[in-house]
């Protein structure tokens, strides 16, 4: 496929991918201060494949949300043409699946081939890939052929210059747009000198852009040092990690801002984009460094919420104002959605405001089971559930069809299963059929199970080989609807 993006990797100053640091607030701040390209933190392919892409209309972001409702990756229009999504992967097909999931929201895709940490290498990812050139070639070739956005990778150097250059030449042949090189071996740490000579040898050996990385300790203390490091490595661009983590205004040509101002700018983005307070706290601690023992540092360390972080930095008013604006926007959108729901509501759907509370039912007995049993008794087709998810708050609503009549609850639930149970309750109550609640007294499904279990035991005592009791079969098992839950149109 043809790359159809203007993203260029020559003459650029780039925010490096950093675990726990490269989230949306830091990326936006780096762009504000002059970074040309920003990389997100490494995100593992398997985790990303479990995520759903959700439009967050309150924050005006695109969120990739895990099954536990945790936001794994959040991005926005401001960075769409300059953010590179870095993933950890050791499998070409998984990498391609993730790339296709996110490519419409990012400017490029990067494969991490340099992280020496165990959480990355134990799965064959990160620096572990450096010892498997065939796998590297497979992953990168699959990505280059499979997506429209530019593909890059980030490596560390090998024990010898010759081996490193040969590997990079092989990588170049896959068709990637650029390669980032951390000028240290996988066993070396930041205190070890960066090998500028090796990065320079790579730059001279290939025609694709080479992005030099690893200069924060030895070279980059202010903006002018970025060019010094670039010249020392003869690289096309420079990627900055720790120097930017300590003070992202390192990207400013005019010179860095005072740290207090930088931290306040960071907090504004963290509040504006609802960044989790633990991540915000971590990044601020990296900026404070030796000031962690000051009064402000101790307040930050003790903070247990975004609000407390704001209070520690004398930004309580900003927090109150911003969260009030976001809450008002959320309320407005919810009202608009409800109005739209009412306008397009099917008049033939019978509705009630009910929720399923499992504490009101015996163990393993649910309204869906009762409804299924009633349909079989009355010789109706089994109930059909249609469930949708609302993008704004990711809540679910289900409509059940029984004997050509539709039923649903007007209350939206936090899971697909709860929404379906609520729909079943509406149907059962409309029909005047018991739903299995503890307060209804004797439960015929439980009694039926007990009778069948007793028959099973008696027959077994008499040496008869019989099938399992029916409640362990389908006729007392909730029928499950399609697991792919569509989202409501926005």
Q: How far apart are the first and last CA of the chain?
A: 31
- The sign one gets for the Cα dihedral 200, 221, 276, 338 is negative
- Spatial separation of the C-alpha atoms in residues 74 and 86, rounded to whole Å: 13
- Spatial separation of the C-alpha atoms in residues 332 and 138, rounded to whole Å: 49
Which residues have CB under 8 Å from 146's CB, separation 6+?
1, 96, 99, 100
The one catalytic residue in 51, 76, 82, 115 is 115
Q: Is 113 helix (H, G, I), strand (E, B) or coil?
A: strand
- CA–centroid distance for 235 within its chain: 32
- What is the DSSP annotation of 335-393? HHHHHHHHHH--TTEEEE-----GGGS-TT--HHHHHHHHHHHTTPPPPEEEEEE-TTT
Q: What are phi and psi of 315, to 5 degrees?
A: -125, 30
Angle at 347 (CA atoms; ends 345, 353), nearest 5 degrees: 70
Asked if 148 is an active-site residue, the reply is no
Residue whose pair of structure tokens reads 């601020």 in the numeric block: 284
Q: Show which residues are catalytic.
A: 115
């Amino acid at each position: 496929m043809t790359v159809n993006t203007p993203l260029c990797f020559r003459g650029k100053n780039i925010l490096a991918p950093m675990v726990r640091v490269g989230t949306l607030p830091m990326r936006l701040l780096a762009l504000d201060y002059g970074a040309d390209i920003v990389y997100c933190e490494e995100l593992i392919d398997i985790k990303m494949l479990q995520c759903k892409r959700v439009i967050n209309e309150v924050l005006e972001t695109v969120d990739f949300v895990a099954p536990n409702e945790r936001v794994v990756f959040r991005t926005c229009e401001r960075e769409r043409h300059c953010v590179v999504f870095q993933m950890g992967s050791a499998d070409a097909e998984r990498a391609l699946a993730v790339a296709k999931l996110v490519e419409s929201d990012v400017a490029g895709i990067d494969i991490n081939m340099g992280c020496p940490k165990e959480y990355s290498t134990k799965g064959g990812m990160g620096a572990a890939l450096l010892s498997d050139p065939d796998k590297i070639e497979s992953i990168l070739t699959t990505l280059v052929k499979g997506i429209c956005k530019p593909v890059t990778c980030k490596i560390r150097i090998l024990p010898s210059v010759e081996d490193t250059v040969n590997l990079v030449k092989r990588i170049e042949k896959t068709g990637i747009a650029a390669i980032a090189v951390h000028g240290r071996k996988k066993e070396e740490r930041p205190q070890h000198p960066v090998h500028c000579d090796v990065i320079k040898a790579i730059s001279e050996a290939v025609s694709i852009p080479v992005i030099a990385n690893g200069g924060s300790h030895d070279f980059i203390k202010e903006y002018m040092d970025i060019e010094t490091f670039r010249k020392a490595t003869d690289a096309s661009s420079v990627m900055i990690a720790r120097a930017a983590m300590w003070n992202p205004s390192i990207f400013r040509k005019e010179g860095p801002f005072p740290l207090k101002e930088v931290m306040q700018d960071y907090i504004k983005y963290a509040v504006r984009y609802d960044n989790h307070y633990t991540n915000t706290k971590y990044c601020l601690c990296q900026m404070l460094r030796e000031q962690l023992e000051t009064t402000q540092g101790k307040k930050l360390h003790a903070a247990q919420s975004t609000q407390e972080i704001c209070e520690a930095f004398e930004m309580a008013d900003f927090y109150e104002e911003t969260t009030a604006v976001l809450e008002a926007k959320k309320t407005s959108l919810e009202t608009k959605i409800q109005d739209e729901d009412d306008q397009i509501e099917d008049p033939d759907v019978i509705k009630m405001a009910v929720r399923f509370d499992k504490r009101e039912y015996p163990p393993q007995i649910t309204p869906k089971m009762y409804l299924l049993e009633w349909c079989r008794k009355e010789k109706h087709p089994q109930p059909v559930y249609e469930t949708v998810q609302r993008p704004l708050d990711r809540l679910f609503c289900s409509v059940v069809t029984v004997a050509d009549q539709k039923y649903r609850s007007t209350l939206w639930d936090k899971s697909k299963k709860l929404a379906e149970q609520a729909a079943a309750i509406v149907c059962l109550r409309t029909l005047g059929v018991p739903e299995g609640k503890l307060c209804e007294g004797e439960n015929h499904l439980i009694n039926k199970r007990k009778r069948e279990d007793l028959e099973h035991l008696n027959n077994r005592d008499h040496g008869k080989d019989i099938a399992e009791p029916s409640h362990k079969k389908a006729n007392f098992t909730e029928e499950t609807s399609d697991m792919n839950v569509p989202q409501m149109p926005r």
